[in-house]
Structure 1
């Protein structure tokens, strides 16, 4: 299915209180080193809402199926763009025991051990924040209003081991965005492809982020892209096709196309 986005885009913002540290596991994690993105990627946010709305609960085994918000019957064309903190910081690195064998192997290589047997302690770095802002987009505001009604006030599991409660608000936070060509002053509202960034501080860290997922006979396949996300001083490259609001907040048009493909 390909997204058919015209010149107008409606965006819903939902605030959630995070009740635990965030562990949105980095795509580059290893068997014994786990780190979290400082945000929930689009794939994680889409699965989170699909889980919450359809009451699907999968643990460990999912028969190579994926959960995507925009594939639910009532939310066709509604795309989750991720969940982002207003502030936060990484936790200190600490150890976590793998579930299974309590005998840890400090001599052999990791890949020579069996499943949950003889593994080294995992080094964990989570992300600490009080709240996440979810960004969800659609051409029509009606399904976004329906989404707001369905999830407000609810509590649910998120990411690897987190819990979050969505704020209860009487009315949805809806903003209209218009398609335009960036002039270099617009600030990305969500992650932005690295090739579309014009200006950013030196301390910015690029991330390889799963943008879209699909189930195949051989397992779940993630489409990963190099992106930037930073809470301030990032601008779109002039000439980039974006959707922008009257506050000069922008969303990459190519990102939406990837999500809908």
Structure 2
């Protein structure tokens, strides 16, 4: 895999005129690199347009209508803002990575791009987790779910989500940097945005990948799965209890006695 990436880097650094000593494998890799440089920016352009319009409409619609300022919609707006930041800042630079053979935007933009990508990722995933918990609370404890208090609490939780996502993104803002590779004549350099400084410990790259997998995938997935499983169990149990109640409250139906135990309480509905 490393040899393949190295060959792609070498081929992408070539000029438009292909040297005659390229092998068939090099030509195949070159064709893939040229396809990436053309197709992927087009796809990112479509993502940019659709994401910009879609998220802007969501934010405008919710903020414009007071009736839509509910707990779920506040969380949805939070995700839309995070996605909008990603689309406006990171998508163009990511598309440029495929369109150009090297990084053109300097060290600051390299760090900013990585930082905002991680912030947007955290906001989206953590907000989805909070949204699943809010649904869980609304279904499991409906009498404790008051719109007024829950609205202000959700705004506070949303602020905490943004703060937490921002703090977790700080290491990426620190670690990402631009390194320079000289050309063959050593007269010019090509820059690349890279996440792991050479001076940092070698274990950091593994820790970084493992940490992201846990915090941004496994833990939220487990939390969301737990919430929806508990909601499904509660709804199935409630449906069964309601059907049993409707079936037994008529004393003349199927010889029923009209007596029912519900929620561990003896009820006589005759």
TM-score normalized by the length of structure 1:
0.22
- Higher share in strand: 1
Q: Which has the larger radius of gyration?
A: 2
- Higher share in helix: 2
Answer 1 or 2: higher relative contact order, Cα 8 Å, separation at least 6. Answer: 1
TM-score normalized by the length of structure 2:
0.22
